[in-house]
Amino acid sequence: MRSAIIDEELTHSVIGAFFEVYNTLGFGFLETIYVMALERELMARGHHVAREFAVRINYKGHELGYQRLDLVVDDRLIVETKSTDKLHPQALRQLYNYLKATNLQVGLLLHFGPSGAKFYRQIHTSGWKQSVASAQSVK
């Protein structure tokens, strides 16, 4: 029996939008171009999208500053995008920290890379985490 995946329908829709953007634009644009295209594609699919969403970071009750998230979709899913030749090893950790800071459970790291589109699903639930990497590629 298959276990339930948190926000499966939402993540499926966002991943579909991601592949649509990658198939249309290909590799080589700045990250901001991909984020704007993804925002438009998600809105066309009926999603509420917040771009450059500011999250307050606190330390022991003291505000340190803000982090800006690329996208928050339907107030439930963080989307972090990268458009680099190679994905930095800390990119998933960055997404995990965003999940902790917002108390959201699910995030997607979308890499618009030269060898195809790849996505990584990150989950954070009450102190434990699970990462599922899907090496999906589109050329």
Annotation: CATH topology of 8-134: tt1808, chain A (3.90.1570)
Give the C-alpha separation, 13 to 59, whole Å: 35
Please tell me the predicted confidence (pLDDT) of residue 78: 95
CB-based contact 117:71 (threshold 8 Å)? no
Beta strand segments in the chain, E: 49-59, 62-73, 77-82, 106-113, 116-125, 128-134
Please tell me the predicted confidence (pLDDT) of residue 119: 85
Q: Mean pLDDT across the stretch 101-114?
A: 91
Residue 89 binned pLDDT confidence (cut-offs 50, 70, 90): confident
Stated pTM of the model = 0.83
- Reading the block at residue 71, the tokens are 């996208």
Digit-coded pLDDT (tens) for 42-88: 999 999 999 999 999 989 989 999 999 999 999 999 999 999 999 88
The letter for the amino acid at 79 is V
- Longest CA–CA separation in the chain, Å: 47
Q: How is the chain split into domains, by residue range? A: 8-134
Residue 132 binned pLDDT confidence (cut-offs 50, 70, 90): very low
CB-based contact 122:90 (threshold 8 Å)? no
49-59 vs 62-73, strand pairing mode: antiparallel
Q: Mean pLDDT across the stretch 1-21?
A: 83
CB-based contact 81:34 (threshold 8 Å)? yes
Please tell me the predicted confidence (pLDDT) of residue 1: 45
> How does the average pLDDT of the chain come out, rounded?
85
CA angle 23, 28, 139 (to 5 degrees): 35
Kind and range of the H or E run holding 36: helix 31-44
